[in-house]
Structure 1
Amino acid sequence: MSFVNNLKLAPRMALAFGLQMTITAVIVIISIASARSTESEFKQVQGNYLPKVFTLVEWETELNEIARSTRNMLIMDNEADVAKQRQEIDSSRANIKKYAEALEATIVSTEGKTALAELMKVKANFTQDLDEFMGLVAKGDKDGARKQLLEKTRITQLAYIEAMDKLTTQQKAMLDTAAAEVHEETASEITLLVSGLIIAVLLSVVMSWWLVRSITTPMKEALALSGAVAQGDRSYSIQAEGRNEMAVLMRSLGTMSQRLSDVVGTVRVNAEAVATASAQIAQGTQDLSQRTEEQASSLQQTASSMEELGSTVKNNADNARQANQLAQQASGVAQQGGGVVADVVNTMGEIKTLLQASVERIDGGTRLVQDAGTTMTDIVQSVQRVTETIQGITQTTAQQSDGISQVNGAVSQLDQMPQQNAALVEQSAAAAESLRDQAERLNAVVARFRVAA
């Protein structure tokens, strides 16, 4: 089968049709040989047996003519009529002699020769009796001629006819045998011819079926493969054996399917990679958007904190001016109080040294002390106001510190977010580079296919 599978379509068809033609030629040759054999047998029948039978029939006919002429000679009185009958007898005897010579030359079988020899013996007796009859008629002795005819010639004539019938029967038997042989041979030839035709038809059908199957089976597999590829089924596979056109076609289709499978697999892998990279880019973009929104919110908070810080700083400046004014007033009062205290101390010293001198001065020192107490009260009140102002400044400073902390936090977030955004940008760039590589691979894969312009 490997040799047959390696045959291409043209040699395969030539082999099939050549085998059919060879079988047909053999049948024709056998038919011609059989026809020639039948023709030879038929010629043997036609040229040998049948002419002998016809000769014997003609011989017997001539013998019957002689018998009829002899009877006519007995009943005719006209010499002319009698002479005519004598001529007919002589003609028949000449024909019989010719027939006898022909049979002696053509009969070759032992039975035929024996029957012919007996016939010739009887013929000689009949000829002798006929000559005596003809002599009596020529003398005009019709009574003697009649007696000769009835007592001798007729008896030898019957024996003559019997011997002739025996030879004719024997020749007819040989003719029938030969005809039967021709018939049997013809029947055998017909049977052989019909058998050869049936064998030729069966072989033609088998060869046609094999030839058609060897072409249609790969075509069906090719159509099935094409249908599977069209449906996206890459699991269908074919096995091609041989080196003929259909095997080459099947292997080409198999290679095409395999390459298409590789292309589809590569495209699928790259498409999944593209989908993954796209998802990463989308996630990074979403994170970047969210962080940008957080940046915007932090900027808004920073702006609000800066506004609050500006307002606080302004309040602190106002409070500082008030504290400065109060401090200046307290300083003046303190200077006054210090002077008064100094006066009081001096006075108390004087009082201590001059206690005994004057009660009036004690009274004056008392008033001074009272004035000093009043002055100290004013100082205490001024100090309280300064303390309140300082507390306001402290609260404002605390608010400023909170605002500054918020600003520092926002600034820190603003500082981290660009770094995170930079990382996302790097990730997006890497994903974009991966997408570019996948796109180049897809282009390289798709570039294997040629499309019409």
Structure 2
Amino acid sequence: MESNKNEITVAARLGIGFGIILAMMLALSVLSVFKVNAIDNSLQHISEVNNVKQRYAINFRGSVHDRAIALRDVTLVGDSEMAGVTALIDKLDADYQRSAKPLDALFSDAQVKVTPEEREWLNKIKQSETQTTPLIKKIIDARNGGDLEGARKIMLGQAKPAFVQWLANINGLIDQEEKLTSAESELARQGAHNFQSLALFAVAAAIAIGLVVAWRVTHYLLRALGAEPAEVKALANAVDRGELYHEVALRDQDRTSIMAVLLKMSRNLRSTVTEVHQASVAVTSISEQISEQNQHLSSRTEDQASSLEETASAMEELTSTVKQNADSARDANRLAQNASDIASKGGEIVGEVVQTMNLIDASSRKIEEIIGVIDGIAFQTNILALNAAVEAARAGEQGRGFAVVATEVRNLAQRSSTAAREVKTLIDDSVSKIHAGTELAEHAGSTMRDIVHSVKQVSDMVGAITLASNEQSEGIEEVNRAISQMDQVTQQNAALVENAAGEVEVLRQQAAQLNQTVSVFKLQRAGWDARPAPAAPAGAARLPAPEEA
């Protein structure tokens, strides 16, 4: 809830008002304590200092006066009474000293206020004591020595004026203490009178300030409430009972008081309750329509789920067929690859055979050349043998043995030539066959290369078919997954439709409950029409009497 930060709160106003009164009471109490302490100090000083000094001085006066009388008796009484008079003088001197010691201590105390006049009178008393005490001893000694006339002369000529001065000094101290006591008493009376006047003024000021503060606080509270507390309470109780049709006459320009805010809250609450009631009715109608549409949507969702199940079953069969095709394509690809490998190996073997046939052809040509050489050697050997036979025939009987050898050599040469020709014939036949084999091998190698190329193309085509089958299988699996997801989504939609139907029913029930709850508020009096009541002037729909607390 927002509020004006610069506005002083009620608690602060009350605190300030009572704080001022309490501060004045506290100041008056402190001043009273101060004045009472001052008066008490004055009275205490009179009682414990001045009166004590005066009492000791009076004791001095009695002791000196009685000693003067006793000293006169020394010159009058007989010898038998002299001892009693002397003892009395000693007793009076002891009484004097018992008062002199505490008086000296009192004058020596730094905490005790001693005026210069008092100290001057005490010094005069001590001087008189110092002058008079030897005279008392002289008179007693003269009397005890039988010089009665001498004692009388000392008494009348010296002691009497000394005693008179001594008593005058003591009376001066007594009068000084009496003067101080009178001054202290007058000061205490004047302080009491001043305090009485100040207290009366402070009480009157406190009463005046209290009245002003009370008036200001009362005025502020009435302005803040906007009405009497009983009327504010009655309006609040009416709102608590749900009676939102009450109107109250506010003061002029009253927009911020509690009564104005409470009345505004009642009007806003009445408008809000009206809107909530209308909205709850609309929500009930809409929820019924949504419920009916959800039923149709649920039926269509079930049909769609059934169609998706059939599609999924067909796709599973298609997936199985495509997987079989892919497997067959992979097997064909493997066989084609094996055939390609075998054809490649056959081509390599045919190439090696061609190379071997070429080597054999080259060797046959070399053998043919060697056989030609052998045939030439045989021919030359035959010629030589013939020449040898001719020469052996010319030699007659001596050359017969050589002729036999020459004949054998010639026969051997002929057989070698015959064998060479036969070998050449065989080699020529072999070379021709080798040429034919080489041509066949080369043709077979070309054919094998064509076969390898064709097998490679077939292998590539089968590989492409395999790849396409795999991609088709993956695509169908993706379609299956999509269909499965669609089926799941459809099932979820069906579940959501059922949940939505349940939620719509709950919404309808809550709307009905809200409508029933809102019906607690009374927007018009009994018998009025259903139109919202405008801001009524003073006197319209007055509040009932406030309830007793």
Q: Which category describes the TM-score, using the shorter chain as reference length?
A: 0.3 to 0.5
Q: TM-score, normalised by structure 1?
A: 0.48
Q: TM-score, normalised by structure 2?
A: 0.40
More helix by share: 1
